[in-house]
Structure 1
Amino acid sequence: MLSEMDDRDDIKSSISTVLPDLPESILNIVEETLQSLGVGTIDDFQFVQEADLLCVLRPIQARKLVASWKQTSQGPGTQSQPDVNSSTSSSLLTSSTSSRSSLSPCPSPRNLLNADWVDHFEIPTERFPEALMQCLERGKRPIPSLRREMIRIVAAEMMKACPSPTKHASTEIAKKLVGKYPQSLKDVIEGDVVGTGYHSLVKQLQARIDNKKRHATPRIHKRKSLSNSDTDEVPAVMKASVQDTYGCVKWDMKFMPVTETLESQNEKKGKMRFLWEQATFNPDEVKELMESTYYSQRKAINNGTALQTLREEWPFLFHEIGISAHYQELTGLPLTQTFLKSVGKKGKQLLNFMATVCANKTRRVFETLTKLRFQRGQLEGCSDDVKDMLLLLLSYFNEDEATMFHYTEETNQAADVQVDCLPVTPCIIVCGASCYSANRFMLSIDGKIVNDNIAQFIAAINVMFGSYYCLNIHYPVQLRSTLEFLQRCFFNINPERGTKVEMKKTKKQLTCSASSLWTLR
């Protein structure tokens, strides 16, 4: 048994040595094919012919393998067979292979075939409208109707090559499109590439393919549960794990830093609690303490420690200085600096787009814009631009402002706020009649005030957004598009797959329709 396992390992190793870039799935198929031919040890490689491998490998790959194996078998220390024996063996093997092929066909490597059609796929530019080609060749952005026509043509061509293209295929072809016409198709705002640069194309291609498949695909019937525990639902723990880790680079630390011990972690935690109670502290010292105790903070959060306990043990975690330090360790990005830099690059153009294009197309956005201009009056500044931006995004996506902002009296303290009206997700409490007139903000999580004194609106936005990541909180469905747009466009977190949106089985999930915003220049 051990000898057979060793032989299998040797066979696989011999293949991967010659073709190191071969995917694991294809490697396994090649191994199975060789075994079906009768290859039991590496000594049998000398009898394998190129034709035997063409059903699973490309011609060049097959030639490389055969040439390498022949060279090895003819090397010093290996007795080469006489011509007659070699010829006889070859003819016998060919005959045996032919008869075996008629009885039991060579394995069908679907993964390889799928990969092949994508690799050889040609963009059908000859079918593109003349107006579209003029835009692409001149490096201009096509108007939405031409872009949609391009998506329809490319998706139809993809489905000719493969009836059911995967998201991976859409991604690869979107890369080709953007690579060929970057000036016209790349996701860019103010010269700054948004995410991968082809995210909106992938979503449009996949949406078109899904729509076309919907008419041809029979309805899938869910299997019946065999017991109470056997259901079609993904366990809550698994769903939380996927959504919690979304966009994070250091979500779970398996080991404590070598410079730290449990005692040193507890000592630093106690020191931060002392500094918090003193109400006077050095921000740099707190930042350093937060960074060095990140391991303990993540363990407490990921283990599901109650919110009140977290507030008592890690009070800085709910304030800008602490949440910024934790967020940077978690995502690899500075919270406030990333947001301000993105606002500086993209904010004005986004506001201009809302005021000119969206307001003319959508009555809801027009009414919101008129209301905000009245509330803002003559105020000028970056903070007020951000207020415009947030409130207009909520209107554009038709999402619930009350889930993000709760308004209370200007003089109200934390104890005066009606917590029964607060959502469970992070919410900014505005102490004033509007975001423009307010000089103080609070943050609530799980219907409890966790920070009762935030002086700046931008700080409130950063603390609110950072809380979703640092505390493993999912985006509520009522804010899914606004928060995802902020995440990708202004906080520069752009995972290629997954979501941080709370999934509700009873309600249809709509995708973030921000592609028209992402493709602005």
Structure 2
Amino acid sequence: MSSDWSVSGSSSPTLCTPPNSSSSQLSAISSCSSQSRNSEPSNRPSTSQILKTWPETFQVPWEQMPQEIRSAIADGKRPKPMERRQMVRVLADEMRRYEANPTRAQCLTVVRNIIRQYPKSFADIAPDGSLLCGGYTSLLIQLKNRIENLNRDGSFSFHRSSTAKRGPTDTYGCTRFQPELPPEETDETVEQHRQRLEEIYRQEGAGGAERAEVKNLMELTFSLQRRHINTIPPPDIEDVKSKWPFLFTPRYIYGHFELLTDINVLRSLELSMQECGRAITEYFRGKPTNKNVKDILSNGEDNEMALRVVQLLMAHFGEDITGLILLTDLLNCIMGKVGARCLPLQLTLRQLSVFLQVLA
């Protein structure tokens, strides 16, 4: 095989020089456009190019990859785990030239482009040849873990271990790890709001969670919630619960997570089950790992997809399902209104959210 590597006769991709810390995203994209003028019909970059972010225009430095990786791609084969880890190291180093701590969404954009280009070499593939959950999960996890390991001893580690001012994006996908106070609020006023929430909870219990006043106060005090949670050393759960009792109700723990990450956790879980549930089921159907897995699969598909996936995963790892979910009669649970002590199992996520509203 020739040392000059190419795939399907195509020429090597044009690489863009990453911006330094003082250059803007626009100048980086303009640099990319100017370097690829020979392949463009016009020397002026189009509007669509200018609007693209750096992960979308990112070019993988394949020429810097180990020879084994390049050979595997050329032959349409999967590289060995050690060679794949070397590739991830090179990829992480190149991405960090654009941004020191790329977010999960930025990593996902880069990884998806790699999977689309070379699915035979890097995609997660089921026994029947179909892609598992888009095919990108394992490579995305490897890349994000590598980036976080590189940042562990740097300034981002300091952000996680101190109560100093955080940047707009911290690690693990948080977009509001430690936000500023709302413009119209002060430390004194948000503390007054917190005390008002305690008062409402003492008077009405968890039932007060549906009050519009509680919803408004929980949003206004989000920065104070984060300050208490981020305290070093970390507070006890009971201490947090005594200060923020509504935070331990389903509505506001989900709301807090959405404010923290910009992700609706129930909707995301529902979509993930739709996207990956059948692939997980088919994987275990093709390779059942123990008797409990076989027993669950033999029950057919009468159960909800979410329930079946949870059962299969817990059976695979030898975990007892009752350690995670309490089984009870739905009718008695609704009529008795016993709240969080009663969690019906065979419900879709949408039904569960409606059910929790009924109990409140």
Q: What's the TM-score once normalised by structure 1's chain length?
A: 0.38
Distance 1:248 1:439, change over 3 A: farther
Q: What SS does the corresponding residue of 2:61 show, helix, strand or coil?
A: helix
**What percent identity do the matched residue pairs reach?**
18
* 1:123-162 paired onto structure 2 within 5 Å: 127-128=71-72, 133=76, 146-147=77-78, 151-152=79-80, 155=83
Q: Does 1:249 align with 2:137?
A: no
| Aligned equivalent of 2:341 | 453
**Shift of residue 346 of structure 1?**
2.3
Distance 1:458 1:186, change over 3 A: farther
State the distance in 2 between where 1:258 and 1:118 align: 45
Given that 1:324 and 1:335 are in contact with CA atoms closer than 8 Å, whether structure 2 keeps it comes out as yes
Given that 1:287 and 1:325 are in contact with CA atoms closer than 8 Å, whether structure 2 keeps it comes out as no
Given that 1:124 and 1:153 are in contact with CA atoms closer than 8 Å, whether structure 2 keeps it comes out as no
Give a deviation string over 1:202-242, Cα, whole Å, max 9, x none.
Answer: 849x99xxxxxxxxxxxxxxxxxxxxxxxxxx8xxx69937
**Shift of residue 439 of structure 1?**
8.0
| Aligned equivalent of 2:246 | 316
Structure 1 gaps of 5+ residues are 1-18, 26-59, 62-115, 134-145, 208-233, 408-427, 441-450, 463-521
Q: What SS does the corresponding residue of 1:340 show, helix, strand or coil?
A: helix
Q: What SS does the corresponding residue of 1:430 show, helix, strand or coil?
A: coil
**Shift of residue 390 of structure 1?**
1.7
Aligned pair partner of 1:265 in 169, 186, 190: 190
Distance 1:271 1:461, change over 3 A: farther
| Aligned equivalent of 2:256 | 326
Aligned pair partner of 1:120 in 41, 60, 63: 63
What is the Cα-based RMSD across aligned positions, in Å? 5.5
**Shift of residue 292 of structure 1?**
1.9
State the distance in 2 between where 1:344 and 1:322 align: 25
**Shift of residue 324 of structure 1?**
0.6
**Shift of residue 438 of structure 1?**
12
Q: What's the TM-score once normalised by structure 2's chain length?
A: 0.52
Q: Does 1:391 align with 2:311?
A: yes
State the distance in 2 between where 1:184 and 1:117 align: 15
**Shift of residue 21 of structure 1?**
5.0
Aligned pair partner of 2:208 in 274, 281, 284: 281
Aligned pair partner of 1:306 in 236, 240, 262: 236
Distance 1:192 1:290, change over 3 A: farther
* 1:134-283 paired onto structure 2 within 5 Å: 146-147=77-78, 151-152=79-80, 155=83, 166=90, 168=92, 177-178=114-115, 180-181=117-118, 185-186=122-123, 197=136, 199-200=138-139, 203=142, 241=160, 245-253=171-179, 255-277=180-202, 278-279=204-205, 280-281=207-208, 283=210
Q: Does 1:292 align with 2:231?
A: no
| Aligned equivalent of 1:476 | none
State the distance in 1 between where 2:348 and 2:248 align: 11
Aligned pair partner of 1:357 in 275, 286, 293: 286
Aligned pair partner of 1:369 in 276, 281, 293: 293
| Aligned equivalent of 2:326 | 430
**Shift of residue 454 of structure 1?**
4.7
Give a deviation string over 1:131-184, Cα, whole Å, max 9, x none.
Answer: x64xxxxxxxxxxxx43xxx149939x98xx9x964626989977743533587
| Aligned equivalent of 2:52 | none
**Shift of residue 252 of structure 1?**
1.6
Q: What SS does the corresponding residue of 2:287 show, helix, strand or coil?
A: helix
State the distance in 1 between where 2:349 and 2:159 align: 24
State the distance in 2 between where 1:240 and 1:267 align: 28
State the distance in 2 between where 1:174 and 1:378 align: 35
Distance 1:127 1:183, change over 3 A: closer
Q: What SS does the corresponding residue of 2:178 show, helix, strand or coil?
A: coil
Distance 1:240 1:393, change over 3 A: farther
Given that 1:430 and 1:438 are in contact with CA atoms closer than 8 Å, whether structure 2 keeps it comes out as no
Partner amino acid, structure 2, of 1:256:
L
Structure 2 gaps of 5+ residues are 1-15, 23-33, 36-58, 96-106, 147-152, 162-169, 334-338, 351-360
Equivalences, count: 260
Q: What SS does the corresponding residue of 2:326 show, helix, strand or coil?
A: strand
State the distance in 2 between where 1:201 and 1:298 align: 28
Structure with the bigger percentage of strand: 1
**Shift of residue 347 of structure 1?**
1.6
Given that 1:188 and 1:194 are in contact with CA atoms closer than 8 Å, whether structure 2 keeps it comes out as no
Given that 1:178 and 1:198 are in contact with CA atoms closer than 8 Å, whether structure 2 keeps it comes out as no
Given that 1:174 and 1:202 are in contact with CA atoms closer than 8 Å, whether structure 2 keeps it comes out as no
State the distance in 2 between where 1:152 and 1:263 align: 58
Give a deviation string over 1:3-60, Cα, whole Å, max 9, x none.
Answer: xxxxxxxxxxxxxxxx9955469xxxxxxxxxxxxxxxxxxxxxxxxxxxxxxxxxx9
Given that 1:273 and 1:313 are in contact with CA atoms closer than 8 Å, whether structure 2 keeps it comes out as yes
Structure possessing the higher radius of gyration over alpha carbons: 1
